Chain A
Amino acid sequence: MPRKMRMNSAIATAVGDEMRVDDSVVMFGEDIAAAGGPFKTSAGLLEEFGPVRVRDTPISEMAFTGAAVGAAALGLRPVIEIMFMEFLGVALDQLSTQAAKFHYLSGGEVSVPMTVRASVGTGTGFGTQHSQTLENWVSATPGLVVVSPSDPQTAYGLIRAAIRHSDPVIVLEPRAHYAARAEVETGEAGLTALGAARLARQGDAVTVVTLGRTTSVALDAATRLAADGVEVEVVDLLTLVPWDVEAVLASVLRTGRLVVVEDSPVTGGWGSDIVARVVREAFGALRAAPFRISAPDVPVPYGKELETRYAPTADDVVRQLGAYVRSGNVPHPWWVEEGVTR
């Protein structure tokens, strides 16, 4: 029976549901136990499961991320919370250099079924050092699965699937959506398969590939463009590593156009991989050059108007998609269009 809940509570519900069916699931992180999490993504877990399985840690990302690696290697399924994605910087060794390699370096003997949850992105005014998405910190290391939910349902479903998975999974949670409310199907029916994209909206004019926060941005833009007769297809990746090549190609074969909307800066953004792969696999099906709508190559600014303009907005996506579908030419990003920079 679907229940209406916010995304943060969908996450806590998912962890709790998994802890209830699997004794090996434990959770730890900064302020996640007694306080229920700074974003209330673990509210009620300490009360139900007790202090052995639900633990507050010191501000020691390196130690508790590494502890999750060791605990996972020895039979637990730890879920850890990195309060802001940037805080993973001090613990990246444990994730990229240790967790991602254990199975490989042990000849398949040691697996690391850990889930790393991290809040990401703009829209909440936390400033330059707390607002990036940083997918590429984790996406370029084979051995790590990377997912990003776009709403309460996919948050619930991906978290449960991540906990059950035998490899390390990083869940990039769009912080701006923690308060978003929607119906959530819980239980087994609510699980979201890893590695599978979701067709969030059907359309024939252009394929728009999104991840996390940009899904809602693209869906808003698609609704507005539909009023002008432009039907946009939105493919919400959900899993970034390994991303669903088949679903994206199938859509591009239908529409002949590809645009990626991403929250990361131009340089090194994940959208480049999508575009490169589609060009290689489906060049003949493309009616126009594919392109990316992303953030500019600058740190995330704080001022409200600055922060809002930094990451792709629905206005931005409407302008660029509209021009692209009408002309077949690739439009400029806003910072070029408005003459701010080249």
Chain B
Amino acid sequence: MIQRHATHERRAALADPQARYERMVEIRAVEDTVNDLFATGAIHGTTHLCQGQEALAVGLASVTRPDDVVTTTYRGHGVALASGMTPLALIAEIMGKTGGCTGGVGGSMHMSDLGIGLLPTFAIVGAGLPVATGAALAFQVRGEDRVAVAVFGDGATNIGAFHESLNLASIWKLPIVFVIDNNVYGEYSRWNVTTPIEHLHKRASSYAMRSAVVDGMNVDEVRKALSTAVARARAGDGPSLVEAKTYRFAGHSRSDTAPYRPEGEWESWTQRDPLRVTRAALLDGGDVDETSLARLEERVRTGVQAAVDEATAMPAPSVRAMFDHVWAEPLPPVVAPMGGRPA
């Protein structure tokens, strides 16, 4: 019943620079649209948006294979779309509709499609790291040349799962890349009130792990850093920790307007908006012109709106859906008939 819609073609397309820009525009358009849908009350619950972090998501997906796996967070729409999920599957999921990637039982924080390497996204800070470590263990034990990638925020580097996972991955030399999407804020707190060091990749040294730091607003820089780390992991050369310096343009979640930002910080980071950076680079390259990019952007926005319309028209799942997939292997029913038994 669940229509995932994701295609490997969407993933493979990211080999092309213009397609990478297009995907970043798509992520931005989806996040802006989701924000509007929440704001107008069209959907309930909460959401965590990733405007400003598109270059990391797209850069990562463009240097990994669909049979690699990625764990990411409740701020995971960008990674899902970059990995190949369609806006329709994602938006329908957030709207709790049958056509969502989990049929509407997961919601905004739980995107899933193993077909494109996306394990169910994690709503607990740091929880994806041990799981990605285990996926890498499976690849190592089975002798497969696949790689696991754990994407997580700066806040997760203060939770035990981060340290335990890096330690374990290092002693077992697992094929994994740990990626810090350092967007400056852990929920409502700026990095400096929660963390004694600014450059979090340095934490790798405690685990004798290679590390790198990269401008997360620049998709080409992201690709360079991550492709090196991914290639090392794939070659059996062990894990890496890569820190991408990004910036969360939105608040933590739907209800957070982020009044705590230092003056001028948002303005300064948005000057380096990853979409703006990539757009300028494409124009500089000379293969595209202003008109064609404007057309591309319009096409993406129209496509996202069409996805919203289609998702809106979808039915909500029947109440029976909540009983589906609790168990992979339901044990023989040992339940007595309802209404009691004769004495």
**Interface, chain A (partner B; CB < 8 A):** 24, 26, 52-53, 55, 57-58, 60, 62-76, 78, 90, 93-94, 97-98, 101-113, 142-143, 145, 165-167, 194-196, 239, 242-247, 249, 253, 280-285
Chain B residues with Cβ below 8 Å from A247 are 334
In contact, B161 and A62 (Cβ under 8 angstroms): yes
Say whether B138 faces chain A, with CB atoms less than 8 Å apart: yes
Say whether B124 faces chain A, with CB atoms less than 8 Å apart: yes
In contact, B134 and A69 (Cβ under 8 angstroms): yes
Chain A residues with Cβ below 8 Å from B164 are 58, 60, 62-63
Nearest chain A CB to B100 CB, angstrom units? 9
In contact, A242 and B334 (Cβ under 8 angstroms): yes
Nearest chain B CB to A26 CB, angstrom units? 6
In contact, A73 and B133 (Cβ under 8 angstroms): no
Give which listed residue, A58, A76, A111, contacts B328 with CB less than 8 A: A111
Task: Name which of B79-87, B112-120, B261-269 contacts chain A.
Answer: B112-120
Max chain A Cβ within 10 angstroms of own Cβ: one of B112, B129, B137: B137
In contact, B325 and A246 (Cβ under 8 angstroms): no
Docked CA distance A68–B134 (Å):
6
Chain A residues with Cβ below 8 Å from B122 are 98
A-B contact pairs, 6 of them (CB 8 A): A102-B120, A109-B112, A239-B331, A247-B334, A282-B340, A284-B342
Give which listed residue, B132, B141, B168, contacts A26 with CB less than 8 A: B141
In contact, B160 and A283 (Cβ under 8 angstroms): no
Docked CA distance A106–B6 (Å):
14
Docked CA distance A103–B103 (Å):
13
In contact, A281 and B341 (Cβ under 8 angstroms): yes
Chain A residues with Cβ below 8 Å from B105 are 104-105, 107
In contact, A109 and B165 (Cβ under 8 angstroms): no
Nearest chain B CB to A15 CB, angstrom units? 16
Q: Indicate with 1 or 0, residue by residue over B304-343, a CB within 8 angstroms of chain A CB atoms.
A: 0000000000000000000011111101101110001111
Docked CA distance A65–B161 (Å):
11
How many chain B residues touch the partner (CB < 8 A)?
56
In contact, A105 and B341 (Cβ under 8 angstroms): no
Chain A residues with Cβ below 8 Å from B132 are 70
In contact, A97 and B127 (Cβ under 8 angstroms): yes
Chain A residues with Cβ below 8 Å from B209 are none
Say whether B247 faces chain A, with CB atoms less than 8 Å apart: no
Nearest chain B CB to A104 CB, angstrom units? 5
In contact, B114 and A70 (Cβ under 8 angstroms): no
Say whether B130 faces chain A, with CB atoms less than 8 Å apart: yes
Of residues 92 through 122 on chain B, the ones whose CB sits less than 8 Å from some CB of chain A are 101-103, 105-106, 110, 112-115, 119-120, 122
Say whether B37 faces chain A, with CB atoms less than 8 Å apart: no
Nearest chain B CB to A127 CB, angstrom units? 24
Nearest chain A CB to B20 CB, angstrom units? 27
Chain B residues with Cβ below 8 Å from A166 are 328-329
Docked CA distance A222–B340 (Å):
29
In contact, B133 and A282 (Cβ under 8 angstroms): no
Q: Indicate with 1 or 0, residue by residue over B135-155, a CB within 8 angstroms of chain A CB atoms.
A: 111111110000010000000
In contact, B342 and A105 (Cβ under 8 angstroms): no
Docked CA distance A71–B328 (Å):
16
In contact, B336 and A67 (Cβ under 8 angstroms): no
Nearest chain A CB to B165 CB, angstrom units? 5
Nearest chain A CB to B17 CB, angstrom units? 32
Docked CA distance A73–B139 (Å):
11
In contact, A167 and B327 (Cβ under 8 angstroms): yes
Docked CA distance A324–B329 (Å):
40
Give which listed residue, B112, B129, B137, contacts A71 with CB less than 8 A: B137
Chain A residues with Cβ below 8 Å from B161 are 62-63, 66, 93
Chain B residues with Cβ below 8 Å from A165 are 329
Chain B residues with Cβ below 8 Å from A145 are 331
In contact, A74 and B135 (Cβ under 8 angstroms): yes
Give which listed residue, B102, B130, B342, contacts A106 with CB less than 8 A: B102
The chain B residue sitting closest to A197, CB to CB, is: B334
In the A-B complex, the 5 residue pairs with the closest CB atoms: A66-B130, A70-B134, A284-B343, A63-B164, A67-B134
In contact, B135 and A73 (Cβ under 8 angstroms): yes
In contact, A70 and B148 (Cβ under 8 angstroms): yes
Chain A residues with Cβ below 8 Å from B119 are 70, 73, 102, 106, 110
Docked CA distance A63–B162 (Å):
9
Chain B residues with Cβ below 8 Å from A167 are 327-329
Chain A residues with Cβ below 8 Å from B129 are 63, 66
Docked CA distance A108–B161 (Å):
26
Nearest chain A CB to B69 CB, angstrom units? 7
Say whether B13 faces chain A, with CB atoms less than 8 Å apart: no
Give which listed residue, A105, A143, A196, A243, contacts B120 with CB less than 8 A: A105
In contact, B131 and A66 (Cβ under 8 angstroms): yes
Say whether B188 faces chain A, with CB atoms less than 8 Å apart: no
Give which listed residue, B114, B142, B168, B324, contacts A110 with CB less than 8 A: B114
Known: A58-B171, A66-B134, A110-B120. A281 touches B325 (CB 8 A): no
In contact, B329 and A67 (Cβ under 8 angstroms): no
Max chain B Cβ within 10 angstroms of own Cβ: one of A67, A71, A247: A67
Chain B residues with Cβ below 8 Å from A64 are 130, 168
In contact, B120 and A106 (Cβ under 8 angstroms): yes
Chain B residues with Cβ below 8 Å from A93 are 124, 127, 161
Chain B residues with Cβ below 8 Å from A58 are 164, 167-168, 171
Chain A residues with Cβ below 8 Å from B328 are 103, 108, 111-113, 166-167
Chain B residues with Cβ below 8 Å from A53 are 141
Nearest chain B CB to A112 CB, angstrom units? 8
The chain A residue sitting closest to B136, CB to CB, is: A70
Docked CA distance A267–B168 (Å):
38
Docked CA distance A66–B131 (Å):
5
Chain B residues with Cβ below 8 Å from A111 are 328-329
Chain A residues with Cβ below 8 Å from B235 are none
Max chain A Cβ within 10 angstroms of own Cβ: one of B127, B171, B324, B341: B341
Docked CA distance A52–B114 (Å):
25
Docked CA distance A98–B112 (Å):
13
The chain B residue sitting closest to A249, CB to CB, is: B336
Nearest chain B CB to A260 CB, angstrom units? 17
Docked CA distance A79–B101 (Å):
30
Docked CA distance A289–B167 (Å):
55
